[in-house]
Structure 1
């Protein structure tokens, strides 16, 4: 297997973040457009924050456990998520991988940088979830 390096992964994440941000920004503008007062705006933005977390979880978990095994960003770069045997991951494993991303972030990014120092180019959240990010076979 040819494992995806740090920069492939960062670029895929950037593409996915842009996609999610565009959707989130449209939803925010929609809420602001139809809110009459500041209290209503605050209430709606709190709801939007919760929905944003749910959307991020579903976006990553559904796409990475799908037949494509990749988010849009990963597809654009020709990389995908597998288990340690190279097979498609389940939705529950994808969910674990998504939420363990927060642990990688809480290590001041060291969890992400581990990709540069592990044999299979795994970040902390990949190790925790038993996943690999690999390049498509040509």
Structure 2
């Protein structure tokens, strides 16, 4: 498009050229990246490592204190001091590690992490619900751990209700997504939004 100034000179404008007949229409395709969720086996092996770490810490820290105090470490009653202290230690480990690091030591080894579905920072209520109530339910009814295999995004029951997901760090899945705006390609191979 040319513009004539007051002196009679023609200048081309910076606007794209308007063409009456476009060659074809195309949709703009954008790549969208989503973090990869972690399946059953990695989570299972991380849990085994975490349980071994908690057992080792109990054996190193708590059991000697009970021996010194001459308290029983073999009592299996739910209200026995060793059961209460072990439960506090076990759930405290998962709650504190998840809150402050987003992952336990077992998850760190495998490069997996807990995060909210929308990517916000984990708050105390989410962590306590997931790691205390959800873990207690899963430990009581162990078969519920298998839900990770069948649930979308490999969510456990606790993840589902706490709106969390376990992701693999620095691993993304690429998905193609069509943008809502189509573009027209004219005879000069210039792309301009269609109206």
Fold match, TM over 0.5? yes
| Runs of 5+ consecutive residues of structure 1 not aligned to the other structure | none
The structure with more strand, counted as a fraction of residues: 2
The normalised TM-score by structure 1 is: 0.84
Please tell me whether the aligned partners of residues 72 and 82 of structure 2 are also in contact (alpha carbons under 8 angstroms): no
Q: Which residue number corresponds to residue 134 of structure 1?
A: 167
The structure with more helix, counted as a fraction of residues: 1
Q: Which residue number corresponds to residue 111 of structure 2?
A: 78
Q: 1:124 to 1:51 in 2, by over 3 A?
A: same
Larger radius of gyration: 2
Cα distance in 2, alignment partners of residues 106 and 53 from structure 1: 13
Please tell me whether the aligned partners of residues 5 and 115 of structure 1 are also in contact (alpha carbons under 8 angstroms): yes
Question: What SS does the aligned partner of 1:89 have?
Answer: coil
Q: Which residue number corresponds to residue 41 of structure 1?
A: 72
| Runs of 5+ consecutive residues of structure 2 not aligned to the other structure | 1-34, 172-195
Give how far 1:33 is off: 4.8
Q: Which residue number corresponds to residue 56 of structure 2?
A: 22
Q: 1:57 to 1:107 in 2, by over 3 A?
A: closer
Give how far 1:57 is off: 1.9
Please tell me whether the aligned partners of residues 81 and 88 of structure 1 are also in contact (alpha carbons under 8 angstroms): no
- 1:5 aligned onto 2:39: yes
Matches within 5 A, 1:112-127: 112-127=145-160
- 1:102 aligned onto 2:136: yes
Q: Which residue number corresponds to residue 88 of structure 1?
A: 121
Cα distance in 1, alignment partners of residues 156 and 72 from structure 2: 38
Structure 1 residue ranges (4+ consecutive) displaced by more than 3 angstroms after TM superposition:
105-108
The normalised TM-score by structure 2 is: 0.61
Give how far 1:108 is off: 4.4
Which one has more relative contact order, counting CA pairs under 8 Å at least 6 apart?
Answer: 2
Give how far 1:34 is off: 4.7
